[in-house]
Structure 1
Amino acid sequence: GVGPSAGSGQGQGGFRTYTWSSGGGPQGANFDFDFGGFSDPFDIFEMVFGERSPFGQSTRRVPRYVLNLDFMEAVHGVEKQIDIDGKRQKVKIPAGVDSGSEIKFSNFAIICQVSAHPRLARRGWDIVSEKEISFSQAALGTVCEIETIDGDVKIRIPAGTQPGTQIRLRGKGVPHVSGHGRGDHYVIIRIKVPNKLSREQKRLLEELEELS
């Protein structure tokens, strides 16, 4: 007889793709189902059964609220008092959330909106900042203070550092929301070139150029 073979596979949209064993249709034919104008079959379930799925699982959509956080609150985590339907509730925001992060509670959800930091930028779990040093500091090496999300730290910039060099501070980035591990902090070195030079500075640079 004609019928689907045992090798039926899963097609797009969660529907099976049947391969006919003999005659009756092309190999690997896809069968499209018409849901009467509904793009999603679960829209039909919601229309017929309301907020509860016929399979016993609730499909109720909880209300979502936008919560504004500053940069440090997002990376370190914070507890906030918010108004939900006229009631004051305390919510705990875990460390490491970012703009668009959704935190689900029993009867509502929070969408995080995080403001930018004036000197620190976020790249996934990593933090990126810039440090400007003078030409002589780049040539001779120096020690600088760097702002991180945990406070200022001192780093050594080696002699001969080139513009755009990235110095990695391991484990100084954003904590993972899971609570395991942290990203890194990358410091991009910018070298300040003076607009005007004194005669002595110009002479010294010319001598340096001759020696190099």
Structure 2
Amino acid sequence: MEAGSGKPELECRLCLAAVRDEAEGPEAELCFPCNCRAPVHRGCLVQWQRVQEQQLMEQRHSFDEAQARMNTCEVCGARLLPGEERSKPQLGSAVCRAQGGTGKVALRRVPTLSRATRNFSDFSATDGQQLDVLEQDATGEFFRVRAKKAHRYRGEGTTAVAEGWIRHVYLDWQCDLSNQSWLPPPRMPAALLAEGTDRLEAVNVEAAQDSRMQEQDET
């Protein structure tokens, strides 16, 4: 409890303490880097991200996936932005365009190009479904969306609301974007650009590959 206030003292959800030992300045400050209600010390968050990156690389995850996981909250799925104001796209909704035989696009847990099963949630957006657009990732390749009455990607059943990341190629903004400078053009993560134009051209057709793989999973 805060002295004399009657209010519970805020504690860091990583170190479970109100004060970070031997920390001063910004590292000792509590912040809310995502949409969760529990705060975290800036220093604890940086330390957690470093450990995450090291462990993921040791497990031979791609650099792209490691960066996405260390910069995304494991609980709420939002980007971790300890020192930035979370900005929302000016267009708050878009229509899903599945571009495949299943009529579904699996929502991702983190904004990564990796198609490993661990990166996908159980739920999906369906072709023609109106989606709430919540935020865009740092590369511009992904948007975090909210789908109401979301269908399971595999099997039957729905959930009232599901949130997750989806590639920009699956979104139809229902307006003319030719003069919309607010929408950052997607760019490949630095790790992929470093691999040269051959890799970049390969990534440009991954949307079609995603659709084919999703269709194969259903059969």
**TM-score computed with the length of structure 1 as normaliser:** 0.22
Identify the structure with the greater strand proportion. Answer: 1
Q: Whose helix fraction is larger, Structure 1's or Structure 2's? A: 2
User: How high is the TM-score relative to the length of structure 2?
Assistant: 0.22
Higher relative contact order (CA 8 A, sep 6+): 2
